[in-house]
Amino acid sequence: QRCLSLIKTTKFLNAYITVTEDTALRQAEESEKRYRRGQSLGDLDGIPVAVKDNFSTAGIETTCASNMLKGYIPPYNATVVQKLLDQGAVLIGKTNLDEFAMGSGSTDGIFGPVRNPWSYSRQYKEKCGQNSRLENEDSSWLIAGGSSGGSAAAVSSFTCFAALGSDTGGSTRNPAAHCGVVGLKPTYGLVSRHGLIPLVNSMDVPGILTRCVDDAATVLGVLAGHDPKDSTTVQDPFNPFELPSVIDVSKFCIGIPKEYHIPGLSSETLAVWSKAADLFENAGARVIEVSLPHTCYSIVCYHVLCTAEVASNMARFDGLEYGHRSNIDKSTESMYAATRREGFNDVVRGRILSGNYFLLKQNYEKYFIKAQKVRRLIANDFVNVFNSGVDVLLTPTTLRDAVPYVEFIKEDNRTRSAQDDIFTQAANMSGLPAVSIPTALSEKGLPIGLQFVGHAFQELQLLTVAKWFE
């Protein structure tokens, strides 16, 4: 009830697309009864969680913040949603995002932008002037980051204890950094994608947003494991873990990628990053500079691969099977075209066009195959660094703290989305686990996130290091 009433008082954040009030209250009551009988289902029994609106939820509208899926009610739960419910978690609502998770700001969905809760912190207001909660009356409110900005804002504003995001190029870690919460992208193949409406199948991973690293480990323990409905999940059993309470970091080797010192990195973020490296060194960890030489190709490589998979994925939205169908239906062709023009925003349509261009017979080798090869080089950079004895990489999550919405939308949306992913997308192309954790506040009083990247399937080690630093 407290979470539901907080959702009402923070409605102006626009973090939720759907609030599942009735079912949440019913689930909470059932959980309370189980608790009284001493029959709790697990760690998450009775815990309010939110789910990004690109995960299928049985009987609950799932929109991807797109006209294409507005009104679509899936007949089944995504595996991760089912796992949460099986543990007694209380599903409190579906959260806002960029349309089909394409973006880095949570500004591009049909339900309007998500507002960063930190826009209303005392320190930010003192530094940056009046900040009204009323629409059209303010200009300084900040983006929440994206594309899982609704989930990050929901956790950050205490309306739930954990939320699911998705992470294809950084969409869980980026908003986690901007909203001052923990954002974990697990290793590709550890957590089922069944029921997550795909963006880039070869990079998508369900993400976890929580208030602290321990909570992320708990939720991961619930979600991880083989799923016969997702053939890309690994067969090896996953043993849920509890993070140690006393951590000795002196046995770890922390790598600092030199190529991540790039133009556009704010001086404040750079300072926080350097200070973090010093902290590890002072605690006895080995901190070394490492090289990820193919970093500079990351953005273009991601662009080609992402749009190519998008072009193929979005073909399912044809007006026949799912969601929106145009009234313009003089011919099958014109119905397809009108449905997709009416259903998708310009970001989605732009990516479909680019992707189909890269996949044209005459371009396929030149762009798509080449990008696949570059992806391998990017992934090998990490293999080489980890083989040299590095346990975990330490990097910034984003270039800077959150920017005001009015500034964000001035920039071209494709460039801005691409630049903001520079530190995060390589982990998706390599399948590696990565976590963003909140560290210091910037001069404006806004959170700055740092990212740790670990060895594949070594979430225990990754989160142990992150917890020590937290």
- As annotated, the active-site residues are 52, 147, 171
Shortest distance (Å) from residue 429 CB to ligand GLN: 11
Closest CB to ligand GLN among residues 31, 104: 104
Nearest residue (CB) to ligand GLN, 10 versus 172? 172
Q: For residue 142, what are the contacts with CB-CB under 8 A and spacing of at least 6?
A: 115, 116, 118, 119, 124, 178, 402, 403, 404, 405, 446
Contact between residue 24 and residue 35 where contact means Cβ atoms under 8 Å apart = no
- Judged by the rule CB under 6 A, the positions of this chain that interact with ligand GLN are 101-104, 147, 166-171, 199, 306, 417, 421
Nearest approach, Cβ of 421 to ligand GLN (angstroms)? 5
Distance CA 145, CA 104 (A): 5
DSSP string, 146-190: SSSHHHHHHHHTTS-SEEEEEESSSTTHHHHHHHTSEEEEPPTTT
**Smallest gap, in angstroms, from Cβ of residue 332 to ligand GLN?**
30
d(CA 427, CA 452): 10
Q: Identify residue 148 by its one-letter amino acid code.
A: S
> Peptide bond before 156: cis, by omega within 30 degrees of 0?
no
Q: Which CB sits closer to ligand GLN, 199 or 390?
A: 199
Closest CA to 402 of 179, 209, 138, 114: 179
Q: Where are the alpha helices (DSSP H) in 52-148?
A: 79-86, 122-128
Say how many C-beta atoms besides its own lie within 10 A of residue 439's C-beta: 21
* Least gap, CB of 17 to ligand GLN (angstroms): 16
Residue 50, token pair as written in the block: 């939110």
The smaller minimum CB distance to ligand GLN, of residues 121 and 166, is found at 166
Nearer to ligand GLN, 256 or 426 (CB): 426
Is the distance from CB of 180 to CB of 156 less than 8 angstroms? yes
Residue number with CB closer to ligand GLN (165 or 221): 165
Residue 93 or 170: the one with the smaller Cβ distance to ligand GLN is 170
Least distance to ligand GLN, CB of residue 223, Å: 18
| Strand residue runs (E) in 258-302 | 286-290
Alpha-carbon distances of 156 from 6, 115, 308, 448, rounded to whole Å: 12, 11, 34, 14
| 434, β-bridge pairs | 185, 453
| Min separation Cβ 327 and ligand GLN, Å | 31
How many other C-beta atoms can be found within 10 angstroms of the C-beta atom of residue 256?
A: 19
CA distance 287 to 433: 20
The nearest distance, CB 398 to ligand GLN, in angstroms, is 11
